[in-house]
A = this chain, B = another copy of it.
Amino acid sequence: MSSAAGSSITVPNLLEGEKDTVLSVLGGIYEHSSWVAEAFYESKIANCGADNATTATGSSGNLENVRHLFDAMSAIVDDASQEQKMELLRAHPDLAAKVEKLKTLTKESQEEQGRADLDTLTDEERTKFLTLNESYRTKFGFPFILAVRNASKHTVLAAVEGRIGNSAEVEFAAALAQVHKIAWMRLLTAIDTPDPTGFLTCHVLDTANGCPAANMRVQLHRLSPPETAGLVAEFVTNDDGRLPGGPGLKGKDFQVGVYEWTFFVGDYFARKGTYISGTPFLDEVPIRFGIDDPTEHYHVPLLVSPWGFSTYRGS
């Protein structure tokens, strides 16, 4: 029942686990704060009897997937006292230390922060960052926390610049939101989700002609993570401007990552006779977007004329 290093465990298996297993899997979800995992174990698993995990699931009504697990753990944090929350914030590593050496971080923090390109900071940027970081800690009393995997140095600098102006109340809430987000990301790694419920759909509307863009070629590429990057699939839209055969991505393929649609808009309008040109204003239209939650529906449509387009996260 123990989980080998690097492997992951399903929610049902976790719920059937011994306390040791549960704590080893969930103890580091909230940074240096295994009390969250312990409280979760006590309230959700222990009191249901060791031999009856399904009752635990049943009694909670919905401890069936990673989202439910997150909801239960985050509720424990939200119900904690102001002092406990502050302690949780303070338990996070200071990015400044990271700039020197990678030592006091939990293994999850190491992995996340290690990938950021903070090592490429110029001296000027390093000074700017350390100064901002110090001001932040002095003003708020806890370290700067950012829930972004593989963030560029630009993103980290932008975020600390943006948040340092917040009032104490607003930043306390913002930092807690980051902590929850980090927990969510760690859960997605720690827990095996055998059958992601999320999926990706598309719809192309021709706003020059007021109709679905039928018969348009569309490609989907995964840009990251690098291990599975590449062309995912090629489609031709149906009469309603949608992908034939349902979602463009679902199940195991619906991975957290960065994706890009390529819409062959020039060909489409050439076929419509609406517009042709030597070098069309719009020909191959890329739409780059991130999938962050493997349990949700991502609808990423295109509204397009020969002279402009829109996209958005739809439903």
Option from B162, B208, B309 in Cβ contact (under 8 Å) with A273: B162
Q: Which residues of chain B have C-beta atoms less than 8 A from A285's C-beta?
A: 288
Q: Confirm or deny: A6 has a beta carbon within 8 angstroms of a beta carbon on chain B.
A: no
- Is A315 an interface position by the 8 A CB rule? yes
| With known contacts A277-B147, A292-B280, A308-B303, A211–B315 Cβ distance under 8 A | yes
Complex Cα gap A193–B241 (Å) = 28
Which secondary structure dominates where chain A touches chain B?
Answer: mixed
Give chain A's interface residue range (CB within 8 Å of chain B). Answer: 35 or more
Which A residues form the contact surface with B (CB < 8 A)? 78, 146-149, 152, 154-155, 158-159, 161-163, 166-167, 169-170, 172-174, 176, 178, 181, 184-185, 203, 205, 207-212, 217, 240-241, 256-258, 264, 266-268, 270-273, 276-286, 288-292, 303, 305-315
Please state the number of chain copies in the assembly. 4
Task: Knowing A154-B217, A162-B270, A313-B210, say if A279 contacts B303 (CB, 8 Å).
Answer: no
In angstroms, Cα B211 to Cα A174, docked, is 20
Q: What are 6 pairs between A and B in contact, CB < 8 Å?
A: A158-B267, A169-B172, A207-B207, A207-B313, A283-B290, A307-B313
Q: Are B282 and A289 in contact (CB under 8 A)?
A: yes
Most buried by B among A185, A277, A288, A306: A277
- Supposing A211-B315, A270-B155 touch, asked if A146 and B276 sit within 8 A by C-beta, the answer is yes
Which residue on B lies nearest to A185, using beta carbons? B278
Q: Quick check: A257 and B273 within 8 Å, CB to CB?
A: no
- Please measure, in the bound complex, the distance between the C-alpha atom of A217 and the C-alpha atom of B159, giving whole angstroms: 14
A307 touches B208 (CB 8 A): yes
Task: List B contacts of A159 (CB < 8 A).
Answer: 270-271, 273, 276
